[in-house]
Amino acid sequence: MPVLTLPLIETRWEARVARPVQQDATYVEGCDTYVRSPITTDTLDRRLEKLARANAGSADSAVRLNVDNGTVALGEQRQEGDNVLPLRLGAMQKAFGHIREGDPWLLDRNPVFYVDGQGKAHIDYTNLAGFVVDPIGTIVSRSVNPW
């Protein structure tokens, strides 16, 4: 049986990801189990990219989101109003890249991050779409409401 080999095509989001994700990555231990973002996915993604380019942390850095003012920081040391998200920097960038490529209409929506009863991280867009994301940022399950 012949084998079909396809060329590797670099997509726009792959070029944006500043930090490689380790294959043995884990979710952030002690993260907040439910965080409603006050900023859009696109804004959050741009802020993460800016932090990554400034060498503020590694792909394994925890991501903090202040739900009062929308500031984003790296590391697990909380300030008042900070929530630690379940996905690490590299995984978050990779997941947002998948969303950017597959469902760009969600970029102007505010995501909700939560951890389900089985310990899996979700990026959800209330009444629109939801994604289960593994610790390295791969979307393992996707559901989209077509309306």
The reply to whether 13 falls in a domain is no
> Is 146 in a helix, a strand, or coil?
coil
**Contact status, residue 46 vs residue 108, Cβ threshold 8 Å:** no
Backbone angles phi, psi at 8, to 5 degrees: -75, 125
Q: Which of left, alpha, beta for 30 (phi over 0: left; psi -120 to 50: alpha)?
A: left
Q: Which of left, alpha, beta for 97 (phi over 0: left; psi -120 to 50: alpha)?
A: alpha
The reply to whether 16 falls in a domain is no
The reply to whether 112 falls in a domain is yes
Q: Specify the long-range contacts of residues 141-147, CB closer than 8 Å, at least 24 apart.
A: 142/102, 144/103
The reply to whether 127 falls in a domain is yes
The reply to whether 19 falls in a domain is no
The reply to whether 11 falls in a domain is no
Q: How many domains, the chain?
A: 1
The number of angstroms, rounded, from the C-alpha of 36 to the middle of its chain's C-alpha atoms is 13
56 against 91, higher pLDDT: 91
The reply to whether 50 falls in a domain is yes
User: Domain residues for 50?
Assistant: 32-144
- Give tens-digit pLDDT for 30-88: 999 999 999 999 999 999 999 988 876 788 999 999 999 999 999 888 888 899 999 99
Tell me what pLDDT residue 71 has. Answer: 94
Indicate whether 26 pLDDT > 70.
Answer: yes
> Can you tell me the distance from the alpha carbon of 132 to that of 89, in angstroms, rounded to the nearest whole number?
16
The reply to whether 26 falls in a domain is no
> Can you tell me the distance from the alpha carbon of 72 to that of 53, in angstroms, rounded to the nearest whole number?
14
147's CB contacts (< 8 A; 6+ apart) are none
Which residue has 């393992």 as its token pair? 140
Tell me what pLDDT residue 22 has. Answer: 53
Tell me what pLDDT residue 56 has. Answer: 66
